[in-house]
Structure 1
Amino acid sequence: MLFVFLGVLFAGIIVGIPIVFSMAAANLIMLVIMDFPIVSYAQKLFNGMDSFALLAVPFYMFVGEIMNRGGIAKRLMVFSDALVGHIKGGLGHVNILSSMFFGGISGSAIADTAAIGGLLIPTMEEEGYEPAYSAAVTASSSVIGIIIPPSIPFILYGVTTSTSISRMFIGGIIPGILVGFTLMFITLLTVGKHKVDLHGGEKRKFEFGKVWSAFKDAWSALIVPFIIVVGILAGVFTATEAGVVAAIVALVLGLFVFKELKIKDLPKILFNTSKTTASVLFLCGNASVTAYLLTLAQVPQELAMMFSTLSDNPLVIIIVANILLLLVGFVMDITPAILILGPVLLPVMTKFGVDPVFWGVIMCINLGIGLITPPVGTVLFVATGVAGIKMEELVKAIIPFFIGMVALLVVLIIFPQIITFLPNLVLPIK
C-alpha cells in the first residue's frame, strides 16, 4: 500500500499537480483499493485539522509577517552587528546571529530568509561579498528558524505523532545554537576571498557601548523567545498558547513601540497568514488520512521488519533512516515530508528504543537541510529572488554550508544526549 501511495503522489508531482492535491488523490485511490467508503475521507480530513495544537501555526505565521514589516528584524540585525560585526566575515556572522534571534520568534525558515535577506543581502553586496555567497549565508542560516523554539515543523511533528510539543521545543534549543556556531565556523573558513576587513568604511572593533545602545533598542524584541521558553517551562502556558503570546507581543511592538507597523498593513498581513495557514491545514488533514490508511495497512510494522533485517543496532537504523530523509528532502518540502513520514517512521524508531523527541528533532533538522537543496528547496527560491541571482550560482556557493550542517547532523545522531539532555532535565516524562 505504501508503494501505491508513493507512486500516485510522485506521479502527480512530476506532472505538475500541487503536492497537497497529489496526496489527496493518493488517499482516495487507497480508499478505493481498501474498499472503504469515500465519506470516510472527509471525516478523517477534518479530524486531522481539528487540533488545538495546530492553532499555534497561524499565530507563528502571523508573527513572521509582523516581523517582516514591524521593524523587529531590523533591530535584531543591528544588535547582532554590534555583537559580532567586528569579526572577520562580520556581516556573514551578523546574518547568522540575526537568524538565531529571528528564529526564536517566528519559527519559519521562509520568513527568516525574506526578512533577514531583504535587509542584509544588499548590505553584504555593498561591502564586497559576492551576491551568491550572501544568499548562501542567508539561506543556510534560515534553517535555524525551524530548530530554535518556537518551530512550526516541531508543532506539525508533535501533532501528527502525539509527541510533546513543549519537549520538542526545549530539545531544539542546543541543536539550534550549534547549527548557528557551525555556520559561523564555515563562514570563517570560506570568507577569505571577500573584502571583509572593511565594514562601514573603517576597521571595526568590539565596542561595549555600541552593544548596549543596540540592546536598549532591541531588548523588547529579544525578550519574546525568553517569554516563550520560560512560560512553557514554568507551566504558565502551553506551546500552542505561547503562539498567541508571541503574536500579541509582536503586534504591540510593531504598532506601539517601534511604530513601523501601520493599522492599514494588518489586512494584508492577515490575508497572507490565512492563505498560508489554509494550505498547511489542508496538508495536515490529508496527512492524517494518509497516516490512518497506512497504519491500517500495517505499513509501519512492515517497515520495522524491513529495518530489522538490516541490523538490530539502533544507530545503524537511525543512519539508514536519515539517508532516506536526505533523499526525500531533495524532492519534497519539509511540511508534507514531516506530515507523511512522521507517523510512519516514528513507530519504527520506537521499536528500536529511539526517543520520540530525539527522532523528531533529528528528522526536522534533516528535512530542514532539504530546504537548501535543489530542485525543490523553497528557501533557495526565496534567496535567489532576494539576491537576484541564478539558482546554479546559489547552489554552488551553498555547498560548504550544506556539508557543515550534514556533519553536525552526524554528531547529533552519534550523541543523542545533546538533544535529550534539556527536555529530560526540565520537562521529564511523568
Structure 2
Amino acid sequence: MTTTMIATLLLVGVFLALVFLRVPVVYAIGTSSLLVFFYLGINPMQMALRFVTNLNSYTLLAVPFFILMGELMGAGGVTETLIDFSRELVGWIRGGAAMVNVVASFFFGGISGSSSADCASLGPIEIKMMEEQGYDRAFSTCLTMASSVEGILVPPSQNMVIYTLAAAGVTSVSIGQLFLAGYVPGAVLSIVLMIYSYYYSKKMNIPVTGKFNLIACIKSLGRAIWGLLAVLIVVVGVITGVFTTTESAACAVVWSLVVGLFIYKGFKLRDIPNIFHNVTMTLGKVLILIGVSGSFTYLLTYLKVPTMVSTALFNLTDNKIVILIMLNILMLVLGCLVEMACLILMLTPVILPIWMSLGLSPIHLGIVMVLNLGIGLLTPPVGSTLFIGSAISGIRIEKLAKKMIPFYAVMGIALLILTYFPQSFMWLPEMMM
C-alpha cells in the first residue's frame, strides 16, 4: 500500500472514528489532520498557516452580519407578524395550520438563514397552533422541523456563503447567483410539504377553519413587510451590484436594529449586549470550524483525494444518473454524522470537480448539497434540529425520528427534482445575472 493511500485512510478513518465516539467535530478534524501532517513529515506550522488562511477572507465578513441580523429579527418580534401574515395567506385552506407552518418557515428562513433558529423560534408557536386545530403533537413537531430546512435554502444563508468559500479552490462561485438560485428550491420544498400536509389533513379529517379575507391579508402584510425588507436589502443589493455581500449584510443589520427597537419594539437597548453574546457564541463555533477545516481540505488536495474519488466513480460507471445518485447518497449519509458547515467545507473540494466534469453548474451543486445536508439536520445521531424539536415538544428523539420517515420521503422527492431538473431553478439566476 502506498504512502498516499495510508495517509488518506488515516485522515478519513481517524476522523470518522472520533465522530462515532462523539468527540466534538472540531477536535476530530484537528486530531486527524495533525496525525497525517506528522505521518507525511510536513511541518505542523502548515496547520496554523491554513487556519489563518481560511479565515483571511473578505467574503467571510458577511457571516457574522447574517447571524446578527437573524438574532435581531428573532428578538425583535418578527416571528408573530410572519405567522399572522401566513395565517391570512393560507390558513383558510384545508390543513391551514400546517400550511401556515410551512409558509411562515419560508418567510422566516429568509431572515434567520438557519434551520435551528427557525425551529427554535417558530416551533413553540406553530406546534401549539396546530394542536389546537386537531393535529397530533408528533406530526406538528415533524412538520416544523422539516419546514425549517427552508431556512437554509432561502437567502440570505450563511451556509451558502461558506459554500462559496469552500468552492473557491476549484472555481469562482457568485454569491448573488447562489442567493437567487435558492428561492425556487425553497418553494419546491414548501410545495411538497404542503401537498403532504393536505393529504394528511384530509386523511385525519382535520376541519377547515376561516375564510380568505383580502383586506386582512394586506394589513398583515403591511405589518410583516418591515421584517421582510431586511432580506430585500441583502438580495437586491447584491444582485444589482449596489452592495457587496458584506456591505448588504451590514446594512441589513442596521435596518434590523431599527425595526426591532422602534417598529416592532421586541427588545430594548439593555437587551442588545445579550443579543451580541448569543451572536459571539455562535460565531465562535463557526469560525473555529472554518479555520480548523483548512488543514483538512489542504490534506485532501495534497493527497489528491478528489482525483481518486472521481476516478473510482467513473471506473464504476459513466452513467450520469447513477453518479448523481451515488453523490447524493454520500452527502445524505455523511449529513447524518457530521455538522453541516464542516461537511460543506470538506466535501465541496471533493465533489465539485466531479460535478463539473458532468457538465453541471457549481451553483446547482450548492443547492443540492445544502438540501442534502439540511435533511441530515433532522436525522440521528447528530441532527441539531432534531434535538431542538425534541426539546420544545417533549417527545423522545427515537419517536420523532420514526415519525419523520414520511417527511424524509417527501423531502427526498424535492431532492430528486432539484438534482435531475436543475433548470427548474437555474433559470432565475441566469435571467437576473
Q: TM-score range by the shorter chain?
A: over 0.9
| Structure 2 Cα separation of the partners of residues 380 and 265 of structure 1 | 29
Paired residues for 1:26-425 under 5 Å: 26-162=32-168, 163-192=173-202, 194=204, 196-197=206-207, 203-425=209-431
TM-score in terms of structure 1 length: 0.95
What is the alpha-carbon distance in structure 2 between the residues aligned to residue 30 and residue 227 of structure 1? 45
Residues 35-77 of structure 1, C-alpha deviations (whole Å, 9 max, x = no match): 1111111111111112111112111111222222210111011
Q: Please tell me whether the aligned partners of residues 74 and 112 of structure 2 are also in contact (alpha carbons under 8 angstroms).
A: no
For 2:232, what is the secondary structure of its paired residue? helix
* 2:381 alignment partner, SS class: coil
The residue type paired with residue 184 of structure 2 is I
Which amino acid in structure 2 is aligned with residue 244 of structure 1? Answer: A
Q: CA deviation at 1:195?
A: 6.5
CA distance in 1, matches of 2:8, 2:150: 32
Counterpart Cα distance in 1 of 2:358 and 2:215? 53
Give the Cα separation in 1 of the matches to 2:308 and 2:189. 34
Structure-2 separation of matches of 1:376 and 1:191: 30
Provide the rounded CA distance (Å) in 2 between the counterparts of 1:239 and 1:178: 25
* Structure 1 residue 249, shift from structure 2 partner: 1.5
Cα deviation, residue 194, structure 1 = 5.0
- Three-state SS of the structure 1 residue aligned to 2:336 is helix
In the alignment, structure 1 residue 16 sits paired with structure 2 residue 26: no
- For 1:224 and 1:271, how far apart are their aligned partners in 2? 22
Aligned with 2:149: secondary structure? helix
- SS of 1:17's partner is coil
Relative distance call for 1:388 and 1:194 in structure 2 (3 A) is farther
Q: 1:4 aligns with which of 10, 15, 21?
A: 10
1:193 Cα shift? 5.6
Distance 1:280 1:346 in 2: 22
Q: Distance in 2 between matches of 1:92 and 1:403?
A: 18
Paired residues of 1:61 and 1:106 also in contact (CA < 8 A):
yes
Q: Distance in 2 between matches of 1:102 and 1:242?
A: 18
How far, CA to CA, are the matches of 1:389 and 1:257 in structure 2? Answer: 36
Rounded to whole Å, the distance in 2 between the matches of 1:236 and 1:285 is 30
Mapped partners of 2:92, 2:282: distance in 1: 38
Q: Kindly state the Cα deviation for residue 142 of structure 1 after the two structures are TM-superposed.
A: 0.4
Whether contact under 8 Å (1:127, 1:195) holds in the other structure is no
Structure 1: distance between partners of 2:176 and 2:96: 34
Conservation of the 8 A alpha-carbon contact between 1:130 and 1:194: no
| CA RMSD of superposed structures (Å) | 1.5
Q: 2:4 corresponds to which residue?
A: none
In 2: Cα distance, 1:113 partner to 1:40 partner: 39
CA distance in 2, matches of 1:161, 1:55: 17
Q: CA deviation at 1:363?
A: 0.9
For 1:186 and 1:379, the matched residues in 2 are separated by: 20
Alpha-carbon distance, 1:28 to partner: 0.5
Retained in 1: the 8 A contact 2:19–2:338?
no
SS of 1:375's equivalent?
coil
SS of the residue corresponding to residue 331 of structure 1 reads coil
Identity %: 37
Unaligned 5+ segments in structure 2 are 1-6
Q: CA deviation at 1:350?
A: 1.9
Assess if the C-alpha contact under 8 Å between 2:306 and 2:350 holds in 1: yes
SS in 2 for 1:187: helix
Give the aligned length: 423
CA contact (8 A) 1:372 1:379 kept: yes
Determine if contact 1:113/1:142 at 8 Å carries over to the other structure: yes
Q: Is the Cα contact below 8 Å between 1:179 and 1:408 reproduced in 2?
A: yes
Cα distance in structure 2, aligned partners of 1:190 and 1:400: 11
TM-score by length of structure 2 reads: 0.94
1:301 Cα shift? 1.0
Given residue 333 of structure 2, which amino acid in structure 1 is its aligned partner?
L
* Pairwise CA distance, 1:419: 3.1
Alpha-carbon deviations, 1:304-358, whole Å to 9, x = none? 1111102223332222111111111121221111111111211222223221111
